[in-house]
Amino acid sequence: MATVLKEPSRTFNEYLIIPGYSGADAIPENVSLKTPVVRFQKGEEPEISMNIPLTSAVMQAVSDNNMAVALAKEGGISFIFGSQSIESQAAMVKKAKSHKAGFVPSDSNLRPDQTLQDVIDLKAEKGHSTVSITEDGTSDGKLVGIVTSRDYRVSRMDVDTPISEFMTPFDKLIYGKDGITLSEANDIIWDNKVNQLPVIDDNQRLKAFVFRKDYDSHKENPNELLDAGKRYVVGAGINTRDFKERVPALVDAGVDIMTIDSSEGYSEWQAITLKWIRDTYGNKVKVGAGNVVDADGFNFLAECGADFIKVGIGGGSICITREQKGIGRGQASSIIEVAQARDEYFKKTGTYIPICSDGGIVYDYHITLALAMGADFVMLGRYFARFDESPSAKLMVNGNYVKEYWGEGSARARNWQRYDLGGDGKMKFEEGVDSYVPYAGTLHDNVLRSLNKVKSTMCNCGVLTIPDLHKNAKLTLVSAVSIVEGGAHDVIPKEISTTGNK
Ligand code: IMP
């Protein structure tokens, strides 16, 4: 006879947090959201932690090199999508790893024999007024001068004038040498009263620009997540099919952490993949696994050597797995059971394996609930898809700005590896939909607002860290009628919000 669980499968919306005693020091400024990402032994520090408990989903519509940089700036980790060729995923990882905060690759470049008209055209196309002049007109060619709007007056000059006649030539340029720090570059900018500083290598080839106008924005990211070499921490998704080729390429590209991206992770395929990674790299290479929804799945992947374990089947906003296959479990029930298993495993073995709540976060308070239920961090798709930094198109639909957001199991993404059970490499049916989400602006502003809410709630519970939230949170189930009581009710709302997380 089948096992039938006594408890129903519950979702975030069915729970609330009961506030605890808050001391006078329980203010958002005192809250630390630092959280472990990879397994560690009792009494030791994890090799990778995040400064905020957010990761972005392994999805085409969410996580590319741009998102990786934007999220690392805030203190989280993006897992660059794996449903692309090994070469293009590795190139994205490389791009994100070589992005130096404040060092911008030159995007407007011309040759000295081109003309003022070319400068005018390029400025109109790119919208930037600094043009690097390199011997071959490339962004990393030999730098021979720069042109800014101070170098020409369109009304007084012939548009056919060659750039070499009006550019600021190299011997009059203030420049920095490759390897200088951002603060040294800013000192040169301030000491010489220039607006931009080209950075060149020993062969006078252009590496990047540092702009005066960016100075303040880099001081705004006290949480940014950097590796030992001061580069952004970057993640990537892998699958259980081509890992022998993909993992080495990603490691070569400088990836810090990977995760097996699979809709159902309690499988021999994950064991084989994890074993190969451990046999090949030992513990040097960090890799998460999943997704699971119960203690059995957790214990299996823990024994297979996963560095962290992702929890969640069927709760994603674009997911139709439960409808199609009848598998899954409410996200709250899944997290609660797996967190218990994690704590027992820690007690038994002295090894702490962080868990990630993946999918189904709709309201900001769901992040706090997931953490209170025991998650060490969360993974979000829909949430990040709404921002400027996501790779998908921003469109106007019915008078509102939206962004496209599609599941990895949709016909559009065709990520068969995520759903593969050793078959013929084809998707047999869809497990995800193609959709729009309301456009919501910049990642920075939204993450700041969401995490302020998380911190506020933690203060209401009288806790200043995520581990303390795990220990002290008190949760209650809500009845159907008390859900009505929780929203605005019995009033006529003046306006309805159309953007984003509540
Ligand atoms: P969201 O934050 O609720 O949008 O959920 C994102 C999560 O949904 C991802 O991290 C994946 O675990 C999962 N997911 C992504 N694509 C699909 C799909 O096509 N079907 C089912 N689940 C998906």
- The string of pLDDT tens digits covering residues 309-357 is 999 999 999 888 888 889 999 999 999 999 999 999 999 999 999 999 9
Q: Whose CA is nearest to atom 10 of ligand 1?
A: 57
State the residue for tokens 């972005």: 56
127 vs 197: CA distance, rounded Å: 19
398 vs 498: CA distance, rounded Å: 12
Q: pLDDT tens for residues 263-318?
A: 999 999 999 999 999 999 999 999 999 999 999 999 999 999 999 999 999 999 98
Kindly give the number of the ligand 1 atom that is closest to the alpha carbon of 359: 5
Does the Cβ of 316 fall within 6 Å of ligand 1?
yes
pLDDT at 107: 82
Above 70 in pLDDT, residue 500? Answer: no
Does the Cβ of 57 fall within 6 Å of ligand 1?
yes
Q: Which of 408, 420, 430 to mutate to test the pocket of ligand 1 (most atoms within 8 A of CB)?
A: 408
Task: Determine the 3-state secondary structure of 214 from DSSP.
Answer: helix
Ligand 1 centroid – CA 317 distance (Å): 6
Above 70 in pLDDT, residue 501? Answer: no
pLDDT at 485: 83
Cβ contacts of residue 182 below 8 Å, gap of 6+? 100, 101, 102, 103, 210, 218
Kindly give the number of the ligand 1 atom that is closest to the alpha carbon of 58: 10
Where does the pLDDT of residue 219 fall: very low under 50, low under 70, confident under 90, or very high at 90 and above?
low
Distance from chain centroid for Cα 500? 18
Higher-scoring residue by pLDDT: 88, 217: 88
Above 70 in pLDDT, residue 216? Answer: no
How distant, in Å, are the alpha carbons of 31, 153, 339 from that of 353? 23, 63, 10
Q: Which residues participate in catalysis according to the annotation?
A: 319, 418
331 vs 364: CA distance, rounded Å: 15
Ligand 1 centroid – CA 252 distance (Å): 28
pLDDT at 411: 84
219 vs 227: CA distance, rounded Å: 18
In this structure, of 24-33, 102-111, 167-176, 420-429, the range with the lowest mean pLDDT score is 420-429
Does the Cβ of 265 fall within 6 Å of ligand 1?
no
Where does the pLDDT of residue 488 fall: very low under 50, low under 70, confident under 90, or very high at 90 and above?
confident
Q: Whose CA is nearest to atom 7 of ligand 1?
A: 359
Does the Cβ of 408 fall within 6 Å of ligand 1?
yes
Compute the average pLDDT of residues 137-144: 94
Above 80 in pLDDT, residue 120? Answer: yes
Ligand 1 centroid – CA 59 distance (Å): 8
125 vs 414: CA distance, rounded Å: 34
pLDDT at 217: 61
Kindly give the number of the ligand 1 atom that is closest to the alpha carbon of 433: 19
Query: How many Cα atoms occupy the beta-carbon half-sphere of 350 within 13 Å?
Result: 5
Q: Which of 13, 309, 318, 383 to mutate to test the pocket of ligand 1 (most atoms within 8 A of CB)?
A: 318
Distance from chain centroid for Cα 146? 35
Does the Cβ of 78 fall within 6 Å of ligand 1?
no
Does the Cβ of 379 fall within 6 Å of ligand 1?
yes
Rounded mean pLDDT of the chain? 93
Q: Whose CA is nearest to atom 17 of ligand 1?
A: 407
Long-range contacts of 192-195 (CB under 8 A, 24+ apart): 195/130, 195/148
pLDDT at 421: 74
In this structure, of 91-100, 261-270, 397-406, the range with the lowest mean pLDDT score is 91-100
Ramachandran quadrant class, 161 (left: phi over 0; alpha: psi -120 to 50; beta: rest): beta
Compute the average pLDDT of residues 107-136: 92
Above 60 in pLDDT, residue 42? Answer: yes
Beta strands in 229-321 (DSSP E): 235-238, 257-260, 287-292, 309-311
Ligand 1 centroid – CA 361 distance (Å): 10
With beta carbons less than 8 A apart as the criterion, state whether 441 and 389 touch: no
CB neighbour class for 123 (10 Å; exposed up to 12, middle 13-18, buried from 19) = middle
Q: Whose CA is nearest to atom 22 of ligand 1?
A: 319
Above 80 in pLDDT, residue 469? Answer: yes
Phi, psi for residue 26 in degrees, rounded to 5: -80, 75
Compute the average pLDDT of residues 76-93: 97
121 vs 426: CA distance, rounded Å: 46
Does the Cβ of 225 fall within 6 Å of ligand 1?
no
Q: Which of 319, 363, 378, 379 to mutate to test the pocket of ligand 1 (most atoms within 8 A of CB)?
A: 319
Return the exposure string of 332-357: e unless at least 16 CB atoms fall within 10 Å of the residue's CB, then b: bbbbbbbbebbeebbeeeeebbbbbb
Higher-scoring residue by pLDDT: 127, 275: 275
Omega prior to 446 cis, within 30 of 0? no
Does the Cβ of 293 fall within 6 Å of ligand 1?
no
Phi, psi for residue 109 in degrees, rounded to 5: -135, 135
Ligand 1 centroid – CA 255 distance (Å): 22
Does the Cβ of 290 fall within 6 Å of ligand 1?
no
Where does the pLDDT of residue 100 fall: very low under 50, low under 70, confident under 90, or very high at 90 and above?
confident
Identity of the amino acid at 256: D
Return the closest-CA partner of residue 312 out of 242, 240, 379: 379
Above 70 in pLDDT, residue 399? Answer: yes
Ordered alpha helix ranges (H), 254-363: 268-281, 295-304, 321-325, 331-349
Q: Compute the Cα dihedral for 232, 237, 240, 245 and give only its sign.
A: negative
Q: Compute the Cα dihedral for 420, 357, 47, 342 and give only its sign.
A: negative
Above 70 in pLDDT, residue 244? Answer: yes
Above 90 in pLDDT, residue 38? Answer: yes
203 vs 415: CA distance, rounded Å: 44
Does the Cβ of 360 fall within 6 Å of ligand 1?
yes
Compute the average pLDDT of residues 241-266: 97
pLDDT at 368: 98
Does the Cβ of 381 fall within 6 Å of ligand 1?
yes
Where does the pLDDT of residue 426 fall: very low under 50, low under 70, confident under 90, or very high at 90 and above?
confident
Does the Cβ of 407 fall within 6 Å of ligand 1?
yes
Ligand 1 centroid – CA 441 distance (Å): 21
Where does the pLDDT of residue 455 fall: very low under 50, low under 70, confident under 90, or very high at 90 and above?
very high
pLDDT at 338: 98
351 vs 345: CA distance, rounded Å: 7
Ligand 1 centroid – CA 55 distance (Å): 13
Residue percentage of the chain with pLDDT more than 90: 80
Above 60 in pLDDT, residue 147? Answer: yes
Ligand 1 centroid – CA 279 distance (Å): 30
Ligand 1 centroid – CA 176 distance (Å): 45
pLDDT at 102: 79
